[in-house]
């Protein structure tokens, strides 16, 4: 089968993409152990590719892929190794991962032609891909197939028949993962999902004046008396705080907490005088 496609491959398919070297003399921060491990795996893949040990190269690159945050150079070299081992289904998946990362570049144009040639090859053997589109809220979510980022809600992916795992892990939303079985001859489809917002915990710090003896109410339920330890609450919803002390005006505030916030409330209680209303 390989002879049918090798003759039409582009120049980019016979090269190796290695990471750029850093200029000497620059101060470098101490490398992260995970980053170092990912780089060792990647360099082992480069070496195996140069020695034409293609199955080993695929293994090294696939292991380094998530640790290197799915960078385009790993996809590029995976395409070269899977071509040599005639793993066409993997080639078109990793090729689409490269195209998603490198949209609009010269390298993407060449890779697009290579992926198209591979689909033509598979079509010649009666194997056709199925087109999937995604409508995932929030918009712009990155869609991963078997861990490979290949699409968002503005693009599509073509998958060969087989089993895949779709996953989405947007920041500040609960991730989604499910198995997708692509059947031979299936019609293209749009997959729709709406993700729930992730709930975080933030803190409210109370610094009242006077500093003691002030009763603290949260949504009309007393939660303590000052001095009060920091109060941990879920983000993304509205709360009502009320502060009371005998002989003083009450003090009321509505608050909404943001992720990572420590919100300080500083109620300044004033002694009750004639005709004074609750302060808001």
Q: What is the pLDDT of residue 35?
A: 85
Q: Which CATH class is domain 201-265?
A: mainly beta
Give dist(CA 54, CA 49) in Å, integer: 6
Q: Which candidate, 143, 146, 133, places its Cα nearest to that of 179?
A: 146
Mean per-residue pLDDT, 59-88? 92
Q: What is the pLDDT of residue 222?
A: 97
Domain spans, the chain? 1-18+33-127, 128-198, 201-265
Of the segments 25-29, 67-71, 132-136, 217-221, which one has the largest average pLDDT value?
A: 217-221
pTM over 0.85: no
Backbone angles phi, psi at 21, to 5 degrees: -85, 150
Q: What is the pLDDT of residue 165?
A: 96
Q: What is the pLDDT of residue 262?
A: 95
Q: What is the pLDDT of residue 276?
A: 53
- With 0-12 / 13-18 / 19 or more C-beta atoms within 10 angstroms meaning exposed / middle / buried, residue 65 is buried
Query: Directed axis angle between helix 72-84 and helix 106-124, to 10°?
Result: 30
Query: Which CA distances in Å does 143 have to 21, 151, 153, 173, 212?
Result: 31, 5, 8, 14, 53
Q: What is the pLDDT of residue 15?
A: 62
Over residues 88-142, the pLDDT tens digits come to 999 999 999 999 999 888 899 999 999 999 999 999 999 999 999 999 988 888 9
Mean per-residue pLDDT, 52-65? 95
Over residues 142-194, the pLDDT tens digits come to 999 999 999 887 789 999 999 999 999 888 899 999 999 999 999 999 999 99
Domains 1-18+33-127 and 128-198 share a fold: no
Q: Tell whether the model's pLDDT for residue 278 goes beyond 70.
A: no
Asked if residues 163 and 181 have their Cβ atoms less than 8 Å apart, the reply is: yes
CATH architecture of the domain covering 128-198: Sandwich (2.60)
Over residues 3-54, the pLDDT tens digits come to 333 333 443 445 666 554 444 444 556 667 888 998 999 999 999 999 999 9
Q: Which CATH class is domain 1-18+33-127?
A: mainly alpha
Instruction: Collapse the DSSP code of 81 into the 3-class scheme (helix H, G, I; strand E, B; otherwise coil) and give the result.
Output: helix
Tokens of 272: 């009750």
Say how many residues make up the chain: 280
Q: What is the pLDDT of residue 274?
A: 62
């Amino acid at each position: 089968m390989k002879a049918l496609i090798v003759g039409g491959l582009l120049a980019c398919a016979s090269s190796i993409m290695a990471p750029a070297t850093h200029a000497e003399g620059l101060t470098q921060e101490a490398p992260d152990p995970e980053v170092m491990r990912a780089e060792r795996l990647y360099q082992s893949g480069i070496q195996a590719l140069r020695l034409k040990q293609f199955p080993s190269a695929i293994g090294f690159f696939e292991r380094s892929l998530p640790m290197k945050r799915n960078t385009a150079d790993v996809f590029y070299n995976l395409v070269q190794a899977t071509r040599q081992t005639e793993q066409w289904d993997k080639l078109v998946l990793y090729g689409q991962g490269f195209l998603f990362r490198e949209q609009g570049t010269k390298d993407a144009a060449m890779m697009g032609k290579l992926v198209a040639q591979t689909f033509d090859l598979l079509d010649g053997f009666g194997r056709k891909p199925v087109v999937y589109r995604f409508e995932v809220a929030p918009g712009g979510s990155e869609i991963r197939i078997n861990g490979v980022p290949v699409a968002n809600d503005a693009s599509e992916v073509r998958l060969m028949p087989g089993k895949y795992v779709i996953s989405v892990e947007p920041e500040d939303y609960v991730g989604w993962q499910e198995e997708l079985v692509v059947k031979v001859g299936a019609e293209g489809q749009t997959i729709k999902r709406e993700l729930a917002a992730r709930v975080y915990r933030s803190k409210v710090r109370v610094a009242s004046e006077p500093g003691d003896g002030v009763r603290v109410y949260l949504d009309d339920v007393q939660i303590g008396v000052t001095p009060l330890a920091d109060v941990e609450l879920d983000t993304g919803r509205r709360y009502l705080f009320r502060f009371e002390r005998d002989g003083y005006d009450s003090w009321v505030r509505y608050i909404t907490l943001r992720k990572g916030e420590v919100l300080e409330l500083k109620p300044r209680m004033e002694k009750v005088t004639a005709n004074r209303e609750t302060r808001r």
